Amino acid sequence: MIVILFTGGTIAMRNDPGGTGAQPALTPAEILHATKGIHAITGVETEEWGQFPGPHMTVERMWALRNRIVEHLARPEVTGVVITHGTDTLEESAYLVARSTASEKPIVFTGAMRTVSDLGWDGPANLFEAVRVAASPETRGYGVMVVIGGQIFAALDTTKTNTHLLDAFESPGLGPLGVLDEGELILRREMPPSPPVITPDSLATPIDIIFAAAGSDARLLDASREQARGVVLAAMGRGNVPPAMVPGIQRWVAEGKPVVLTSRTQGGRVGHTYGYPGGGRRLEEMGAIFGGSRRAQQARIDLMLALGAGMNDAELRIMFDS
């Protein structure tokens, strides 16, 4: 049996008759009624967990959703879990679950790019295919996946790359795990070995993300340092920042708060290439932590998990290096 958790998002929206735009409206029963063929695949159980647009998914809600998924996975009769989710934050919830949950049972996130009021509402097709993937013995052991637009992605490496196209998700540099072709599941690559999961009792918050751009200075770093427990820098290129940001980074390190370097680019790792002021090598020597190939939103989740689990600086460096 597959459990479907409905959390909201565009898949459950219609355009308001008053012209105020798309709003949450559809019940799980209405979405299931429009999704023909699911019951021919497997038995399902549904739960209306929430009606949240993607941007309304807070860190606390994502953690509560993760815990609810774990509860369902512990039930022996449940063979997999499907989650409908707003696409704006789907990758973050899916990544959080992937980094904090160990299960052989498939966990599949899906959503929609169009509402029921739009031509070509993609919600039913995406939900059908998500259930198809979750119910397949071939995906057992694949962990957390994202199924949308006929493609299957690993939650550890997928991201939303378009604001409106139906195939809005990609795994940059890697490609999808597989595709669905007229209901047939075709896996094209294996899941890479996953790093050890981190299972704190709660997440450490707040963790901020600060984006580096030409001419950026230390103002946002200093403002964030007053309350945040850690910061992730979406730096340039290989992990480089404008020189005016450097004093702000030094003040973070001096207070013993972690600064994690990522890149604002779509692919590649941060590294030791550049030794000029603000270069990645100099920042690491100063005490910043390289985030590897993680995107900033992924590094933020890892830092929340790791600090929540009580990791010290040395342990953080080992974890981010994995």
58 labelled catalytic? no
The pairs formed by 188-193 with CB atoms below 8 angstroms and a separation of 24 or more are 191/141, 191/142, 191/143, 191/154, 192/154
Q: What does DSSP say about strands 44-48 and 2-6: parallel, antiparallel, or unpaired? A: parallel
Helices (H), 74-218: 87-100, 123-134
Identify the CA nearest to 146 among candidates 107, 198, 188, 203.
107
Catalytic residue among 7, 10, 139, 205: 10
Rounded Cα distance between 98 and 144, Å, is: 5
Q: Which helix (H) or strand (E) holds 289?
A: strand 289-290
Rounded Cα distance between 278 and 6, Å, is: 45
Provide the annotated active-site residues.
10
